[in-house]
Each structure stands twice: as structure tokens, then as C-alpha cells.
Amino acid sequence: MGTPARALGDGLVIHEDCDHLLFVGFSGSGKSTVVRNLGRMFRRRTVDLDRVVERRLHGTLPGVWIEYGEQAFRAEEHKALLGLKQEKSLLVACGGGTVATRENRELLRELGHVVFLDGTFEDSLAQMRSTHRRPDLGDRAHAARLYEERRPLYMSVADYTVSITGKTFEQVACDCGALLWEEGLL
């Protein structure tokens, strides 16, 4: 049977009985790229939480981190998540640390279906073009500790898990698209 849907004037599709699809994973797992690819493939609106926080705080992620600190960044990130309650049928790229608080984990589950882009720490590092936009990672040892702390949190909120190991972002987007299509979510 299929999910009832309607097309908006700009050709985007809104699924009447479908919640948001939220993508979580460690920095470099490809959340933003996969969400953009899926948005184009399935004509769905997309949101990148890191970019929302940057706009709200009028700066780049590293600048916001330095000027306001992690606590302010996380508070604004939580507000951005709360704002998604007013929207429908979005593909959402969450920041790597979005799962750090219990409140955000609960909110993710409430907002829709969560897809965990899973890979090794090395997979994520290999995909990062640069770590300068990822101020929370620090040096390699600190980043590895963060990965170990966060991976169980990603798993705890995930409705679906898609492996990124040995794949391009386009392949991961296709894997996600096929899975979510079969589930009736796209």
C-alpha cells in the first residue's frame, strides 16, 4: 500500500503519516552529505542541525565553539531540535554530539525514525576533509575517546543502522534510500 503523500507547489513531497528521518553518527560518517543526496533523490526537504546553530549564533561552527563554548552550542542545538516539532517530513542531519544529552536522545525518538550511520573510528577519520570544522574532536586521542563514548548512544536511539565501511557517501545514500523506501518511510 504506500504512505499517503502530497506534493507541494515546488515539487517537494510531504508524507502525511511519516515523521522526520533523523541521521546520527560520529563526525565524518557522512550525515550531511547523505541527507543532501537523499533529499535530491526523493525530493524531500533537508535540515543540517550544525548549519542551523551556525545561523542562529551568526558564525561558523569553530567560531561559535570558541566564542560561546560547547554548553551554549548544545543549548542552541537542543532548541533547533525542538523547533523541528513544528515541521513535517524532514531529512535531518544531526551533529555528531547531538546524542550527548538524555534530553536530545528522548527528543530524537519523539521526532521520528533515527538512522545510525555506523562505521569504525578510522572510517570517520578517513572521510573528514579537515578537522578544523569539528572543534569538539580535539586531538586524535580525544576524538577516539569521544567515538567510544558516543557509539553506544547512537545505537541506543537508532531504529535503523547502515554501515559506512568501505562505501562512498553516494553508496551509503543509496543503501539508506533502499532501506527507508522498503520500510515505507520515503
Flag whether pLDDT at 13 surpasses 60. Answer: no
Contact 47, 82 (CB under 8 A): no
pLDDT value of position 4: 45
Lowest mean pLDDT among 31-35, 109-113, 126-130, 154-158: 126-130
Q: Is 28 annotated as a binding residue?
A: yes
State yes or no: 74 annotated in a binding site: yes
Residue 33 annotated as lining a ligand binding site: yes
Q: What percent of the chain has pLDDT over 90?
A: 62
pLDDT at 176: 97
Residue 23 has pLDDT above 70, yes or no: yes
Do the annotations mark residue 85 as ligand-binding? no
| Residue whose cell numbers read 515505507 | 184
Report phi then psi at 47, rounded to 5. -140, 135
More confident: 48 or 15: 48
Question: Phi, psi (5° rounding) for residue 124?
Answer: -65, -45
Range name among 13-22, 100-109, 151-160, 175-184 with the lowest pLDDT average: 13-22
What mean pLDDT value characterizes the chain? 86
Instruction: For the chain, list the domains and their CATH numbers.
Output: 19-183 (3.40.50.300)
Q: Residue 150 annotated as binding?
A: yes
95 annotated as ligand-binding: no
7 has pLDDT over 80: no
- Residue 30 annotated as part of some ligand binding site: yes
Q: What is the pLDDT of residues 40-90, one digit of tens each?
A: 999 999 999 999 999 998 888 888 888 888 888 899 999 999 999 999 899
Q: Tell me: pLDDT of 16 over 60.
A: no
**DSSP assignments along 105-139, one per residue:** HHHHHHHEEEEEEE--HHHHHHH-S-STT-TTT-S
Q: For residue range 121-152, list pLDDT tens digits in order.
A: 988 877 665 555 566 666 778 788 989 999 99
96 is in an annotated binding site: yes
